[in-house]
Structure 1
Amino acid sequence: MSLKLIYGLGGSGKTSRIYDEIREEMKRHPDRNMILLVPDQYTFRAEQKVLKELGQTSVFKVSVMSFGTMTRRILATVGGATHALISDTGKSMLMTKAMSDIKDHLKLFKAVAGKPGFIDMAKSLVDEMKRYDMDMEELRKTIEESEDQELMQKFQDILLFYDAFEKEVHKGYVDSTDEMHFSLERIHEADFLKNAEVFIDEFNDFSVMQLQFIEKLMENAKRVVLTLTLDQHHDRGDVFQITKDTERKIFEAAEMAGASIEKPLILPDETPLRFRSNPELAHLEAEYFHYPNRSYREKTRSVSIYKAQNSYDEVEKVALDIKRRIREDDSLRYRDLAILCRNIDAYANIIVSVFREHEIPVFLDKRRDIDGSPLSQYVLALVEVADQGFTYDALFTLLKTGLSHIGTEEVDLLENYILANGIKGGNFQKDWVYPYPNIHEEKLMEAYLQRTNEVRDKILSVYGPLRERIASAEHVEEITRILYEHLEDHGVLEKSVDIINDLGDEEIAKEHKEVVKGIISIFDDLVDVLGSEKMEIGIYGDILRQAMISYKIALIPLTLDQVILGDVARVKSDSIKGLYILGVNDGVFPKTISDEGIITDKDIAKLKEEGFDLFIDSKTRSIYEQFLVYTAFTIPREFLSLSYVGADMDGKSQRPSLVIARVKKLFPELMEETYINPMDKKSGDMTEVEGKVATFNELIKEMRRNYQGDPVNPLWGEVYDWFSQEEDFRDRLRRSREGLNYSNLSKNLTRESVKALYGDQLYLSVSRLERFTSCPFAYYIQYGLKAKDRVMHEVTAPDVGTLMHEVIDQFTEDIRGMQIAMSEVDKGFIREAVDKLVDQAIEKTNTIYKSSPRYKHMGEKVKRIINRSLETITAQISKGSFVPMFNELGFGKEGEALPALSIEIPETGEDALLRGRIDRIDVMEMDGKSYIRIIDYKSSAKDVSLKDVFYGLQLQLLVYLDVILRNWSSILSSQAVPGAVLYFRLDNPMIKGGINMTDEEIEQKVLESLKLKGLLLKDARVIRNMDRDIDEFSLVIPAKIKNEEVVSSSNRKDKNKEIILTEEEFDVLRDYVRESIGTILKELFDGNISITPYKDKDKIPCTYCTYKSICQFDGKIAENHYRNLKAMPIEELWENMKKKEVTDHGK
Structure 2
Amino acid sequence: MAFRFVLGRAGSGKTTFCLNEIKQRLMEKPEGRPLIWLVPEQATFQAEYALVSAPELGGTLRAQVLSFRRLAWRVMQEVGGTARLPIDETGKKLLLHRVIHRNKDRLRRFQASADQMGFLDNLNQLFSEFKRYCVTSEGLSRFYSERFGSLSASGGSLEDKLHDLQLIYGDFEMELSKLYLDGEDYLTLLAKQLGESDYVHDAECWVDGFHGFTPQEFAVLEQLAQRARNVTLTLCLDRPYLNGEGLYELDLFHPTARTMLELQERLRQQAVDVAEHIVLSDSPPARFGDNPMLAYLEAHWGDRVKKPFTDKGEVNGGSSVRISAAVSRRAEVEGLARDIVKLVRDGGLRWRDISVSVRSVEAYGDLLAGTFRDYGIPHFFDQKRSVMHHPVVELIRSALETVLNYWKYDAVFRCVKTGLFLPFAEERDPQGGKLRIDRLAMDQLENYVLAFGIQGSKWTDPKDWTYSNRTNLEQDEAEARAADEAFLTKINACRRAVAEPLMELQNKLREKTTVQDRVRAVYELLIRLQVPERLEAWSQASLRCGEPEKAREHAQVWERIMDVFDQLAELMGEQSTSLDLFAELIQTGFESIKLGLVPPTLDQVLIGSMDRTRSGRVKHMFVLGVNEGVMPAKITESGVLTEAERERLGSAGLQTAEGSRRRLLDESFLIYCAFCTPSDGLWLSYPLADEEGKSLLPSDVIRQIKRLFPHTRERLLFNDPASDASSGEQLEYVAHSDKALSLLVVQLKQWMQGSPMSGVWWSVYNWFARQPEFGWKLSRMIQSLLYTNKAPALSDPTSRQLYGEHIETSVSRMERFVACPFSQFASHGLRLKERRIFRLEAPDVGQLFHAALSKFAEQVEMEGVDWGALTARESEERAALVVDALAPKLQGEILLSSKRYLYIARKLKQVISRAALMLGEHAKRGQFRPIGLEIGFGNGQPIPPLIYELNNGVRMELRGRIDRIDRADTEQGTLLRVIDYKSSAKMLNMAEVYYGLSLQMLTYLDVILTHAPIWLGKEAEPAGVLYFHVHNPILNAKNGLTVEQIDKELKKRFKMKGLLKADPEVIGLMDSSLIGASGHSELLPAALKTDGSFYKTSSVASEAQWNTVRGYVRRTIREIGTSMTDGRIDIEPYRMGQSIACTNCSYRSVCQFDTQLEGNDYKVLPPIGKDLVWELMEKQAEPKRRGSVSGFRPAASRILPLAALEIAASTEDESDALTEDELNSTSGRKENDGGET
TM-score, with normalisation over the residues of structure 2?
0.71
Q: Pick one of 1076, 1098, 1120 that aligns with 1:1080.
A: 1120
Q: Which residue of 1 aligns with 2:337?
A: 319
Deviation, 1:1091, is: 3.0
- Conserved? CA contact 1:807–1:837, under 8 Å: yes
680-689 vs 171-180, which deviates more? Answer: 680-689
Are 1:360 and 2:377 counterparts? yes
Letter of the 2:901 counterpart: M
Q: Hey, what's the Cα distance between the residues in 2 that align with 1:1066 and 1:236?
A: 98
Deviation, 1:61, is: 6.6
367-376 vs 381-390, which deviates more? Answer: 381-390
Letter of the 2:720 counterpart: N
Letter of the 2:342 counterpart: R
Q: Hey, what's the Cα distance between the residues in 1 that align with 2:331 and 2:179?
A: 53
Deviation, 1:638, is: 1.9
Letter of the 1:302 counterpart: S
Are 1:858 and 2:901 counterparts? yes
- Conserved? CA contact 1:5–1:228, under 8 Å: no
Deviation, 1:338, is: 0.7
Letter of the 2:906 counterpart: K
Deviation, 1:773, is: 3.1
**Unpaired segments ≥5 residues, structure 2:** 427-434, 471-477, 1075-1079, 1181-1222, 1232-1237
Change (3 A) 1:1128 1:835: closer
Letter of the 1:339 counterpart: V
20-29 vs 536-545, which deviates more? Answer: 20-29
1077-1086 vs 143-152, which deviates more? Answer: 143-152
Q: Within 5 Å, give how 1:1015-1030 maps onto structure 2.
A: none
Are 1:572 and 2:611 counterparts? no
Q: Hey, what's the Cα distance between the residues in 1 that align with 2:1171 and 2:673?
A: 73
Q: Which residue of 2 aligns with 1:179?
A: 186
Q: Which residue of 1 aligns with 2:772?
A: 723
Q: Which residue of 2 aligns with 1:748?
A: 793
Q: Hey, what's the Cα distance between the residues in 2 that align with 1:449 and 1:237?
A: 74
Q: Which residue of 1 aligns with 2:1186?
A: none
Change (3 A) 1:977 1:148: farther
TM-score, with normalisation over the residues of structure 1?
0.75
Are 1:412 and 2:440 counterparts? yes
Deviation, 1:365, is: 2.1
**What's the secondary structure of 1:864's corresponding residue?**
helix
Q: Which residue of 2 aligns with 1:551?
A: 593
Q: Hey, what's the Cα distance between the residues in 2 that align with 1:452 and 1:774?
A: 37
Deviation, 1:45, is: 1.9
Q: Within 5 Å, give how 1:784-863 maps onto structure 2.
A: 784-791=829-836, 795-807=840-852, 810=855, 825-826=871-872, 837-846=882-891, 848-849=893-894, 855-863=898-906
Change (3 A) 1:433 1:642: same
**What's the secondary structure of 1:335's corresponding residue?**
helix
Deviation, 1:569, is: 2.5
Q: Pick one of 803, 825, 842 that aligns with 1:780.
A: 825
**What's the secondary structure of 2:618's corresponding residue?**
coil
**What's the secondary structure of 1:638's corresponding residue?**
strand
Q: Hey, what's the Cα distance between the residues in 1 that align with 2:818 and 2:676?
A: 66
Are 1:392 and 2:412 counterparts? yes
Q: Hey, what's the Cα distance between the residues in 2 that align with 1:635 and 1:7?
A: 17
**What's the secondary structure of 1:71's corresponding residue?**
helix
- Conserved? CA contact 2:844–2:890, under 8 Å: no
Q: Which residue of 1 aligns with 2:556?
A: 517
Question: What do residues 80-105 of structure 1 show as CA deviations (whole Å, max 9, x unaligned)?
Answer: 45513224465567678889999999
Q: Hey, what's the Cα distance between the residues in 1 that align with 2:97 and 2:1048?
A: 57
**What's the secondary structure of 1:556's corresponding residue?**
coil
Q: Which residue of 2 aligns with 1:1031?
A: none
Q: Which residue of 1 aligns with 2:1195?
A: none
Q: Hey, what's the Cα distance between the residues in 1 that align with 2:590 and 2:914?
A: 59
Deviation, 1:42, is: 0.9
Q: Within 5 Å, give how 1:947-1096 maps onto structure 2.
A: 952-953=996-997, 1077-1094=1117-1134
Are 1:672 and 2:720 counterparts? no
Q: Pick one of 625, 634, 658 that aligns with 2:699.
A: 658
- Conserved? CA contact 2:868–2:922, under 8 Å: no
Are 1:434 and 2:466 counterparts? yes
Q: Which residue of 2 aligns with 1:341?
A: 358
Q: Hey, what's the Cα distance between the residues in 2 that align with 1:766 and 1:605?
A: 82
Q: Which residue of 2 aligns with 1:1051?
A: none
**What's the secondary structure of 2:608's corresponding residue?**
strand
Q: Hey, what's the Cα distance between the residues in 2 that align with 1:196 and 1:268?
A: 28
Are 1:562 and 2:594 counterparts? no
Q: Hey, what's the Cα distance between the residues in 2 that align with 1:581 and 1:37?
A: 27
Deviation, 1:1004, is: 12
- Conserved? CA contact 2:852–2:912, under 8 Å: no
Letter of the 1:137 counterpart: S
- Conserved? CA contact 2:358–2:624, under 8 Å: yes
Q: Hey, what's the Cα distance between the residues in 2 that align with 1:397 and 1:645?
A: 36
Are 1:44 and 2:45 counterparts? yes
Change (3 A) 1:201 1:464: same
Size of the aligned set, in residue pairs, is 1112
- Conserved? CA contact 1:11–1:635, under 8 Å: yes
Q: Which residue of 1 aligns with 2:673?
A: 631
Deviation, 1:1096, is: 7.3
Q: Within 5 Å, give how 1:182-197 maps onto structure 2.
A: 182-190=189-197, 195=202
Q: Which residue of 1 aligns with 2:208?
A: 201
Deviation, 1:314, is: 3.7
Q: Within 5 Å, give how 1:206-605 maps onto structure 2.
A: 206-214=213-221, 225=233, 227-228=235-236, 250=263, 274-275=287-288, 277-282=290-295, 284=297, 291=304, 293-294=306-307, 301-308=319-326, 310-330=328-348, 332-345=349-362, 347-374=364-391, 376-377=393-394, 392-393=412-413, 396-399=416-419, 404-405=424-425, 410-413=438-441, 415-417=443-445, 419=449, 422=454, 427=459, 430=462, 432=464, 434=466, 437=469, 445-450=484-489, 491-502=533-544, 504-505=545-546, 508-523=547-562, 526-527=565-566, 530=569, 533-534=573-574, 546-573=588-615, 575-585=617-627, 588-593=630-635
372-381 vs 734-743, which deviates more? Answer: 734-743
Q: Hey, what's the Cα distance between the residues in 1 that align with 2:1141 and 2:687?
A: 34
Question: What do residues 667-719 of structure 1 show as CA deviations (whole Å, max 9, x unaligned)?
Answer: 55413232342596899976666677667767887998999997864675565
**Unpaired segments ≥5 residues, structure 1:** 1029-1033, 1045-1055
Question: What do residues 764-791 of structure 1 show as CA deviations (whole Å, max 9, x unaligned)?
Answer: 4443334323432232232123233455
485-494 vs 81-90, which deviates more? Answer: 485-494
- Conserved? CA contact 1:334–1:561, under 8 Å: yes
Q: Which residue of 1 aligns with 2:1183?
A: none
- Conserved? CA contact 1:398–1:404, under 8 Å: no
Change (3 A) 1:152 1:836: farther
- Conserved? CA contact 1:745–1:1090, under 8 Å: yes
Identity over the aligned pairs, expressed in percent? Answer: 24
Change (3 A) 1:55 1:851: farther
Question: What do residues 223-260 of structure 1 show as CA deviations (whole Å, max 9, x unaligned)?
Answer: 66351467999999587665576567656756765667
- Conserved? CA contact 1:683–1:702, under 8 Å: no
**What's the secondary structure of 1:802's corresponding residue?**
helix
RMSD: 6.5
Deviation, 1:120, is: 5.4
Deviation, 1:857, is: 1.1
Deviation, 1:337, is: 0.8
468-477 vs 514-523, which deviates more? Answer: 468-477
- Conserved? CA contact 2:336–2:622, under 8 Å: yes
Q: Hey, what's the Cα distance between the residues in 1 that align with 2:172 and 2:1048?
A: 63
Q: Hey, what's the Cα distance between the residues in 2 that align with 1:835 and 1:612?
A: 77
Deviation, 1:67, is: 2.3
Question: What do residues 918-956 of structure 1 show as CA deviations (whole Å, max 9, x unaligned)?
Answer: 489999x9x9999989675336x7788787666555555
Change (3 A) 1:1131 1:771: closer
- Conserved? CA contact 1:772–1:778, under 8 Å: yes
